[in-house]
A and B are shown apart, each in its own frame.
Chain A
Amino acid sequence: MTKQRQYIRTLQHHLLWSDFGRQVTTAVMAIAAALLLGALCIAAIGASPLKAYGAIISGAFGNTNAVAETAVKAAPLLLAGLGLSVAYRANMWNIGAEGQIFAGGMAAAVTALTLGTQLPAAVVIPLQFLAGLTAGALWAFIPAILKTKLGIDEIINTIMLNYIAVLAVGWLIQNPLRDPSAGFPRTSMIPEASQLPIILARTRLHVGVLIALVFVVIIHVVLWKSTLGFKIRTAGDNPGAARACGIRVNRVLIISMLISGGMAGLAGTIQVTGLHFRMIQDISGGIGFSAIAVTLLANNQPAALILSALFMAALDVGANTMQYQADVPVAVVNLIQGLVILFVVGREFLYRRITRRHQAFSEKQEKLSHAAEGAKEQ
């Protein structure tokens, strides 16, 4: 074997034959395919794909402010996505992060408006996070209990609760909690003590971004280094086996949904206390749905979520620049995000195929070496 071939073999081995390599390679291929198809669509409407993608990149990372905006956009995606990855590991299809964000944001806003003038920041800010976490978890508890006690599909219920949460918040900020000085529904501004500190002057980069990163570590440890995480993963992969091992599956499923909803609630909290400083109808801007894409792209891996949240956030932040520089409608970004998900779904298939080929190859090698040994002995 020449050196060159050996090199290719080693590369192939790292890219395709280690599990991690397969995950990364297929994910990159999925994104590349989605971007390529997206480029074709941009060309089809008569714009330059290169110019459009260039505009997205410069819009998302071109200067300090752009990077800060991308990070601020990625933080709630990351928090909600972390929660979803826990639920999805348990095979609980929580489509309700959007509603849980609204519940958490509303609770944080109410806490800030009632306590923010009386308590110092060091007390009220943790309380706001606690309120957001609890409200999001409670909103997720409803579909969780309906699933485990009555066996009602969680997908439908989480979706219905999205609409209910959005409408309930709409009523709250229009009637009892309305800012009397505003012409449209929104709450008053939260007191200064309640607002999250800015960590980079002249940008909107707030401390919530760091908190999101801390939670990456926490969720990673919970999912991979704790008994609870083991129970969650087992209950999701094989509920029958989990039950046989004495795991109380229903309890584990409920806990996974509570974590999921709580994290989405935190995403709502930082939107209110770090970015908008009040509850508004457009507090989420579809983060709850984008977070699903972020989670699927990261294959439910907390660490990979950082990259996939940044990717999706960069698309969103760069979209406006793309619109005015390359004259491509912002909606193209949604199109690319949808394509990414579908290719990532397809990736599951590619991943399985490569794994199977690898197994077949190893078995063949093993047989050959056995045969060689047998021949030697004779």
Chain B
Amino acid sequence: MWEVLASTTFVIGLLQAALRTATPLLLAGIGELYGERSGILNIGLEGIMLIGCLFGFMTANMTGVPALGILAGGAAGIVIALIHGVLSISLGVSQVVSGVGINILCTGLSLTIYRAVFGASYSDLPRAPGMTPVQIPLLSDLPVIGTLLFSQLPLVYIAFALVPVTWFVLYRSELGLKIRACGEHPMAAETVGIHVARIRYLCVVITGFLTGIGGTFLSLGLLNFFRDNMTAGRGWIAIAVVIFGRWKPTGIMGAALVFGLASAFQMRLQAIGIDVPYQFLLMIPYVLTMLILIVTYGRSAGPAALGKPFIKEQ
């Protein structure tokens, strides 16, 4: 058994799977980072991801073009996120409650739309053309890391490229300064002439888009079909990833990779038939989230105004 675990093919396969599993978490996590940095907590990620997953799949199924599917998933994510935006920014209601509502709504919405479009037949599962790996010239020919890092699905590159981009936007651009000001002290931001509501809406849209395309990675990348509640808790884990990653782009990348690795390891142990009950393996990411929160407690660096409604005085 240990020879299998130590073999190069096993390790490469494991890391490759980890990168793929981490990608939707990273996309949604970076998306949520923008929202939370501006002061908007969105616990409706699970629902937004599910809707992105469905619309990406439907569009690719109908047009045959996966790229259009990804865009459609992002657009659907924006629409749902805007519901949260209106409720939490313009109406100033509880962001937690709104997020819970969005999750329940999206579960129903996705099932209803799927049944209405494709019917309830399980024997003839509709499929969509999936994304195909993109080989980076020269680099993909490198031994070992060539296949691992440079012949991945396009969204994997995009997700990891977003990490430095987000770092730059948040810490080196005027927009980032405004976003962080809204999340730390919206009143002060408003006083110096920043449109808090406008910045927060922008961030909510970014959250929706990135979470939506994170969802399309499930139905067009990892698998080529849609099934009920396909996201299986990934949206919730993405929120944990943001906390575990200390609201920093690089931290979120690290956190997403830890989760990706745990989940990939679990699947691989099952595949080689190691006699551990699969329920315990499936528990790993959830237990890990809690342990990590416990270990890193007190050192959280969340935005000061996170989750607090801010309505401009008339």
Contacts and interface: CB of A to CB of B under 8 A. Distances in A.
Are A and B bound to each other?
Answer: yes
A167 B293 contact: no
Contacts of A333: 108
A198 interface: no
B283 A342 contact: no
How many A residues are at the interface, by size bracket? 35 or more
Given A146-B294, A329-B120, A348 B115 contact: no
Interface string B85-113: 00100011110111011111111110110
A336 B111 CA distance: 12
A164 B97 CA distance: 23
B297 to A, nearest CB: 4
How many B residues are at the interface, by size bracket? 35 or more
Contact of B98 (A331, A339, A342): A342
Nearest to A172: B279
A341 B104 contact: yes
B108 A151 contact: no
A94 to B, nearest CB: 11
Nearest to A166: B279
Given A292-B100, A349-B92, A337 B243 contact: no
A303 interface: no
A334 interface: yes
A298 to B, nearest CB: 13
B104 A345 contact: no
B156 interface: no
Interface string A287-314: 0010011001000000000000000000
Interface in B24-53: 43
A50 interface: no
A150 B292 CA distance: 12
A335 B112 contact: yes
A210 to B, nearest CB: 29
B192 interface: no
B269 to A, nearest CB: 15
Interface centre among B103, B108, B293 (most CB of A within 10 A): B108
A29 interface: no
Contacts, number: 136
B109 A338 contact: yes
Given A146-B293, A159-B236, A296 B286 contact: no
B287 A41 contact: no
A189 interface: no
Contact of B108 (A93, A167, A296, A331): A331
- Binding site of B, secondary structure by majority: helix, strand, loop or mixed? helix
Contacts of A211: none
B87 A329 contact: no
A378 B264 CA distance: 87
Contacts of B204: none
B230 to A, nearest CB: 14
A337 B108 contact: yes
A342 B96 contact: no
A336 B87 CA distance: 18
B2 interface: no
Contacts of B290: 146, 156-157, 160-161
A171 B280 CA distance: 8
A167 B115 contact: no
A170 interface: yes
Contacts of A7: none
A155 to B, nearest CB: 6
A164 B280 CA distance: 9
A155 B43 contact: yes
Contacts of A326: none
A342 B103 CA distance: 10
B105 A338 contact: yes
Contacts of B293: 146, 152-153, 156-157
B112 A331 contact: yes
A81 to B, nearest CB: 13
B155 interface: no
Contacts of B300: 151
Contacts of B240: 156, 160
Contact of A346 (B91, B111, B112, B243): B91
Interface centre among B94, B112, B115, B120 (most CB of A within 10 A): B112
A93 B115 CA distance: 33
B239 interface: yes
B277 A171 contact: yes
Contacts of A339: 105
Given A167-B279, A289-B104, A345-B101, A335 B298 contact: no
B282 interface: yes
Contacts of A342: 83, 87, 98, 101-102, 105
A339 B286 CA distance: 29
B87 A335 contact: no
Contacts of B94: 345, 348
Contact of A335 (B98, B108, B239, B287): B108
B289 interface: yes
Given A159-B236, A167-B282, A342-B87, A337 B116 contact: no
B105 A335 contact: yes
B107 A338 contact: yes
28 contacts: A41-B112, A95-B100, A146-B294, A150-B294, A150-B297, A151-B300, A155-B96, A157-B290, A160-B240, A160-B287, A160-B289, A161-B290, A163-B233, A163-B286, A164-B287, A171-B277, A289-B104, A293-B100, A296-B97, A329-B115, A334-B104, A334-B111, A334-B112, A337-B104, A338-B103, A341-B100, A345-B87, A345-B93
Interface of A: 41, 44-45, 93, 95, 146, 150-153, 155-157, 159-161, 163-164, 167-168, 170-171, 174-175, 289, 292-293, 296, 329, 331-339, 341-342, 344-346, 348-349
Given A155-B43, A332-B112, A339-B105, 18 more contacts: A150-B298, A151-B298, A156-B240, A156-B243, A156-B290, A160-B287, A161-B286, A167-B282, A171-B277, A174-B279, A296-B97, A331-B115, A332-B108, A334-B107, A338-B105, A341-B101, A348-B91, A349-B93
Interface of B: 43, 83, 87, 91-94, 96-98, 100-109, 111-112, 115-116, 120, 233, 236, 239-240, 243, 277, 279-280, 282-283, 286-287, 289-290, 293-294, 297-298, 300
